[in-house]
Amino acid sequence: MNVEIHINCYETTQVIEDDQVKQGGQVFTTNIRGQVPPLVTTDFTVTDQGNASPRFIRCTTYSLPCTADLAKQCQVPLAAIIKPFASLPKNETPLYVVNHGDTGPVRCNRCKAYMCPYMQFIDGGRRYQCGFCNCVNEVPVFYFQHLDHMGRRVDFYERPELSLGSYEFVATLDYCKNNKPPNPPAYIFMIDVSYNNIKSGLVKLICDELKTLLEKLPREEGMDTSAIKVGFVTYNKVLHFYNVKSTLAQPQMMVVSDTAEMFVPLLDGFLRQNSLSVLLLDQIPDMFADTAESETVFAPVIQAGVEAFKAAECSGKLFIFHSSMPTAEAPGKLKNRDDKKLVNTDKEKTLFQPQKGVYEQLSKDCVASGCCVDLFLFPSQYTDIATMADVPSHTGGSVYKYSNFQVETDGEHFLRDLRKDVQKSIGFDAIMRVRTSTGFRATDFFGGIYMNNTTDVEMAAVDCDKGMTVEFKHDDTLSEETGALMQCALLYTTISGQRRLRIHNLSLNCSSQLSELYKSCETDSLINFFAKSAYRAILNQPLKNVREILVNQTAHMLACYRKNCASPSAASQLILPDAMKVFPVYMNSLMKTAPLVGSTELSTDDRAHQRLSVMAMGVEDTQLLLYPRLIPLVGNKNTLRLPATPVRCSEERLTDSGIFLLENGQSMFLWLGQASSPDLIQSLFNLPSLAHLQGHMCALPELDNPLSRKVRSIISGLLEKRSNSMKLQIVRQKDKPEMLFRQFLVEDKGLHGGASYMDFLCYVHREIRQLLT
C-alpha cells in the first residue's frame, strides 16, 4: 500500500539566514536563566550579566527534563560543549581577574563550588547558602558586606564573582605544584632532519619562519615581551640538542644516540630567550644538507621534551615537525598495520585504535608534566596516525597533516597553520572540574583530554579552539522552580607563569513538559555531541552498529516529539520541532563523514585524523564541517554577487556559468563552471579562458581589478576567521579533481556511500512511523 508522504526539505541556509536577520547585530544579554542563544553562525555581541557567554558554553537544550524518565522517553542527550578559552571579539569585555590575596577564592565548605552569582546571602550578609548543594556557609570576615533592601549585597556590581557568569581568580600557592609558584612555560621546536625533509626544502622553510615567529610568541596583556623560553632539537635516528647560551660565540650541538634511555644533556643553555637562536636557525639547514639518513625515531623525541620540562620545572608545548612512520630501532617503533581487508568487518575498529604500550605511558607522563604536543605531519604514505596522534590528542594538542608536501603548493598553507598555532592564546597544566546543582551530574567527557579519575579533566594545555563536550545524567528529580546550575572551574598556568582559576557559570531551566525541552534545543550543539559520541564508539563497535544507533536515536527523538508535543496531523506528514528542523541534514552529513563510512577508497590515516580532530572541536567547528558554506560569487549578468550569501550545499545549486567558493573550516575550493565567462576568468586569473588554467594553482594571482580584489578579500577573510588554514583548491566543472569537491555537497548522495538528504528524510520518516504504530 503506497501512502503519499509529505516531507518538507527544510533548508539549512534559510534557517541560518533567518536567525541572522532576526538576531544578527543584536546584543545577547545573559541575565535570564535558560535563555537559548543565537545560532553559532549569527554575528551578535554578548553582554555578561550572570551567565557565561555562549562563546564559552553551549548546551544541547536549555530546558532540562525534570526526571530521568522524561529524559529516557525523549532520548535527547543532555550535554554542554565548553570552550573555556574561547576568543572574544574586540568589542566584548575580557574576563576580570579577581585577587583575594593570600586567602584565595571563597568556596562552599561542602561541595567546594566557587563564589558565584548563584550563592544566596542570608542573615544580614553573615552567611550564604550554596546554590549547588544548599549548604549554609559562614562568610569569611574579610568578605563580609551588608545587604540592601532586596537582600542583595551592596557591593554586588563591584564584584565580578557576584554579578558575572565568567571571571578569573588569582590562585594561591595551595593550587600550585609542590606549593610553589610555577615558572613561565616553554616552547620546544623539534625538527625531523631526515633525507626527505631536507630535500623537499621543508627544514629551511621551518627555520626561516621560526626566526620571525620567535618575535611573536604569545604574551600577557600589557607586557612588551613574551615570558616564554624556547629550545630547539633536531633529530633523525638520534637527537641533537642545541646550547644557545648567550655567553657562547656559536650555538653548540650535543648528540644523544641512546634513544632507549632518553635524557637532556644540557640544562643551562637549552631553554632560552636570546639572539643565538636566530644564528642556530640559519645554520640548521646547512648542517644536514648532505644527510642520507632516512629513518626516524618518534617516542624518544616526546620523551626528551618531557625530560626538558621536568628539569626546568615548567610546563610547555612541543612543536614536532615529522615526516614518516618511526621505523628506527627505538622505543615506540611502529610497523605498517594498514589493512583494507578489515574495512566493513568487526575488526575495522582496530584501525582507529592506537597501538598500546609506549605511547599510552607517554601520554600519562606528558599530562603529569604539563607537556602539550602539537604534531605537524608531512607523510608520503601511511604513518599510523591513530598511534602517532595519540599523545597530541590526550594532551590538548593539535595534529596537522600535509600529504605529499611540496614547498611551492603547500608551503604557504603550512606556514599559516604554524603561525596561528604558535600565536594562539593558551593556558598550561590545566585541570577542569564541572560541578552541578543537586539532581543531575556530569557523567561523561569528550575532548583532547586525559582522565585519571571520573571527575577531573586534565589537559597539558588548553587553547582558544579546543572544546570539551560534557554529558549530564539525572541522579534525582530536578525542580522547575530552582532550575539547574553548572559551574566549570579550570585551574591553569598563564603564559607568564601565573596560576589562575577560570570560572564559567550557567543556569538552565527545568520542565516536566517535553515541549519546553524541544523548544529550547540547539541543533548545532546536539550534532557536536552525536559526532563525538559516535567517533568514540567506533573504537569499540562495528561501524554498522554505530550508524544504526545514530539513525535510531534520531527517529526516537523525533517520534517522541510527534507523539507528545505536535498538534495532530496525518501520519504521512513528517513533523519536526522548530529548533530541530534541520537536524536530519546534519545527522545525514555526519553519517557520510570519512570515519563513519566503510569504504576501502578512503585512507586509514585520513579517517583517523578526522576522528581525532573532531573530538576536540567546539560547536562552530562541527557545524561548519558538517554543513560547508557554498558561496556563489557571480550573479546572473556575470557580475560579482554581494553580499556573498551561502546557498544549499547541493549540486543542483551549481550553474554552468557560475563560480562558487566552498569551505568547511578544513578544506576550501574555488569551483569554476564550464561556461564561465572569459571576462571573469581574465579578471581572476589573467588568462584568456578556462582551458588555459593549469592544474596546480593554490592561490589567486594578485590582479588590480575589482573582481580579483573582492574574491581575494573574501578568501583571506575566511582564512583569517577559521581556526585552521585551508589550502585553496581550484577545480573546473567536469575535471577529474571535481570529484574531491563533490564529496562536500552534503545534501547529495555520498561518493563513498551514504544517502542524499531527501532519501535520509524518507528513511527516518519510515522509522518514526514504525515507532508510533
Greater confidence (61 vs 250) lies with 61
Q: What is the pLDDT of residue 221?
A: 84
Q: What is the mean pLDDT of residues 706-724?
A: 93
pLDDT band at 140 (very low <50, low <70, confident <90, very high): very high
Greater confidence (176 vs 113) lies with 113
Looking at 109-113, 541-545, 644-648, which range is the least confident one?
644-648
Greater confidence (27 vs 262) lies with 27
Closest to 75 in 3D by CA, of 552, 771, 590: 552
Q: What is the mean pLDDT of residues 390-413?
A: 96
Q: Is the peptide bond before 643 cis (omega within 30 degrees of 0)?
A: yes
Closest to 304 in 3D by CA, of 243, 202, 232: 232
Q: Residue 561 belongs to what H/E stretch?
A: helix 543-564
503, pLDDT greater than 80: yes
> pLDDT tens across 465-488, in order?
999 999 999 999 999 999 999 999
pLDDT band at 751 (very low <50, low <70, confident <90, very high): confident
- Collapsing DSSP to helix, strand or coil, 371 comes out as strand
Write out the residue limits of the CATH 2.30.30.380 domain(s) in the chain.
97-163
Q: What is the pLDDT of residue 647?
A: 94
Contact criterion met (CB below 8 Å) for 453 and 131: no
In DSSP terms, 138 is beta-bridged to: 127
Q: What is the pLDDT of residue 15?
A: 94
pLDDT band at 5 (very low <50, low <70, confident <90, very high): low
Cβ-based burial of 534 (10 A; exposed 0-12, middle 13-18, buried ≥19): buried
Q: What is the pLDDT of residue 640?
A: 72
Cβ atoms within 10 Å of 98's Cβ, excluding its own: 20
Greater confidence (638 vs 425) lies with 425
Q: What is the mean pLDDT of residues 73-79?
A: 97
Q: What is the pLDDT of residue 634?
A: 87
Phi, psi of 612 (to 5 degrees): -75, -35
Contact criterion met (CB below 8 Å) for 485 and 36: no
Q: What is the pLDDT of residue 193?
A: 97
Cβ-based burial of 643 (10 A; exposed 0-12, middle 13-18, buried ≥19): exposed
Q: What is the pLDDT of residue 239?
A: 95
Rounded CA-CA distance 311/497 in Å is 16
Q: What is the mean pLDDT of residues 265-276?
A: 75
User: Euclidean distance between the first and final Cα of the chain, in Å?
Assistant: 16
> pLDDT tens across 422-461, in order?
999 999 999 999 999 999 999 999 998 999 888 899 999 9
CATH level 2 (architecture), domain 186-424: 3-Layer(aba) Sandwich (3.40)
C-alpha cell at 156: 554586588
Write out the residue limits of the CATH 2.60.40.1670 domain(s) in the chain.
12-87+428-589
C-alpha cell at 191: 625538527
pLDDT band at 573 (very low <50, low <70, confident <90, very high): confident
Contact criterion met (CB below 8 Å) for 646 and 390: no
> pLDDT tens across 660-683, in order?
999 999 999 999 999 999 999 999
pLDDT band at 643 (very low <50, low <70, confident <90, very high): confident
C-alpha cell at 229: 623560553
Closest to 251 in 3D by CA, of 270, 265, 236: 270
Cβ atoms within 10 Å of 14's Cβ, excluding its own: 13
Contact criterion met (CB below 8 Å) for 586 and 595: no
Q: What is the pLDDT of residue 266?
A: 72
What does the CA dihedral 516, 520, 526, 528 come to, rounded to 10 degrees? -160
CA distances for 759 relative to 7, 625, 750, 763, 764, angstroms: 11, 21, 11, 6, 9
Rounded CA-CA distance 28/31 in Å is 9
Closest to 549 in 3D by CA, of 587, 581, 492, 506: 587
pLDDT band at 3 (very low <50, low <70, confident <90, very high): very low
Q: What is the pLDDT of residue 130?
A: 98
Q: What is the mean pLDDT of residues 604-626?
A: 97
> SS3 string of 468-497?
EEEEEEECCCCCCCCCEEEEEEEEEECCCC
Q: What is the pLDDT of residue 752?
A: 87
Q: What is the mean pLDDT of residues 644-652?
A: 92
Q: What angle do CA 34, 39, 43 make, to 5 degrees?
A: 115
Q: What is the pLDDT of residue 276?
A: 81
> 114: which DSSP letter?
B
Rounded CA-CA distance 740/340 in Å is 21
Q: What is the pLDDT of residue 111?
A: 96
pLDDT band at 1 (very low <50, low <70, confident <90, very high): very low
Q: How many residues does the chain have?
A: 773
pLDDT band at 200 (very low <50, low <70, confident <90, very high): very high
pLDDT band at 145 (very low <50, low <70, confident <90, very high): very high
Instruction: Tell me which fold the domain 97-163 belongs to.
Output: SH3 type barrels. (2.30.30)
4, pLDDT greater than 60: no
Rounded CA-CA distance 666/658 in Å is 23
Sign of CA dihedral 708, 710, 714, 720: positive
Residue 308 CB partners (closer than 8 Å, separation 6+): 186, 188, 231, 264, 270, 271
> pLDDT tens across 116-127, in order?
999 999 999 999
Q: What is the mean pLDDT of residues 83-111?
A: 96
Q: What is the DSSP string of 306-343?
A: HHHHHHHT--EEEEEEE-S---SSSTT-------GGGT
Cβ-based burial of 235 (10 A; exposed 0-12, middle 13-18, buried ≥19): buried
Q: What percent of the chain has pLDDT over 70?
A: 98
> pLDDT tens across 166-184, in order?
999 999 999 998 899 999 9
Q: What is this structure's pTM? A: 0.96
Rounded CA-CA distance 291/146 in Å is 74
Q: What is the pLDDT of residue 2?
A: 41
196, pLDDT greater than 70: yes
> 174: which DSSP letter?
G
pLDDT band at 48 (very low <50, low <70, confident <90, very high): very high
Phi, psi of 252 (to 5 degrees): -110, 135
Write out the residue limits of the CATH 3.40.20.10 domain(s) in the chain.
628-742
Helices 706-721, 678-685: axis angle to 10 degrees equals: 60
Hunting for cell 578579500 — which residue is that? 713
Instruction: Tell me which fold the domain 628-742 belongs to.
Output: Severin (3.40.20)
245, pLDDT greater than 90: no
In b/e form, how buried is each residue of 580-597, taking b as 16+ CB within 10 angstroms?
A: bbbbbbbbbbbbbbbbbb
Q: Does domain 12-87+428-589 have CATH number 2.60.40.1670?
A: yes
Amino acid (1-letter code) at residue 242: Y
Average pLDDT over the chain reads 94
Q: What is the pLDDT of residue 569?
A: 82
> pLDDT tens across 486-495, in order?
999 999 999 9
Q: What is the pLDDT of residue 267?
A: 67
Amino acid (1-letter code) at residue 186: A
Q: What is the mean pLDDT of residues 520-547?
A: 97
